[in-house]
Structure 1
């Protein structure tokens, strides 16, 4: 039986947004206000010096732990880390498919 991903409510989307921004600030050591200002088009990998290849592993591991998702190696590509909006969409899709 296939399940159809549900569209998150505004409260769920806001909670994910807050959690993801907090997670990014914690892992990368950013000022929480800087992370809170991220919008969908805010650049991540290649734009934030703190987000290097070593930090990507830590970020993905922390996402798995805090969001209760599993990220397979095949899931990781440059597009999902390019912008905050892409990372949030990725997390949202993973949460919907649980």
Structure 2
């Protein structure tokens, strides 16, 4: 069974690939701020990230889910993805 830690690790893979920040992988953690914290994460990159997350985790992210709370940190995003996968 997947855990939040597994989801977080998979999300880090997605984020570094989509944003092209492989050299900063080791510095990313659950506490890493996304919006405003990673300069490469602009509005266009956010949309690309959402598409890749939907494909990688087999979930649907609604426009209403694109909130500052969900994308505050890698940890909040991992918790959101995990909840979506659980059907919550």
Sort the TM-score into its range (normalised by shorter chain). Answer: 0.7 to 0.9
Structure with higher Rg: it is 1
Match of 1:4 in 2: none
Note if 1:19 corresponds to 2:13: no
Separation in structure 2 between the aligned mates of residue 86 and residue 63 of structure 1, nearest angstrom: 14
> What TM-score do the two structures reach when normalised by structure 2?
0.87
Match of 2:64 in 1: 74
CA RMSD between the two structures: 1.6
Counterpart of 2:46 (choices 41, 47, 56) is 56
Moved over 4 A (4+): none
16 and 36 in structure 1: CA distance in 2 versus 1, 3 angstrom threshold: farther
Higher relative contact order (CA 8 A, sep 6+): 2
Number of aligned residue pairs: 87
- What are structure 2's unaligned runs of at least 5 residues? none
Match of 2:19 in 1: 28
- What are structure 1's unaligned runs of at least 5 residues? 1-8
**Alignment map for 1:75-90 (pairs within 5 Å):** 75-90=65-80
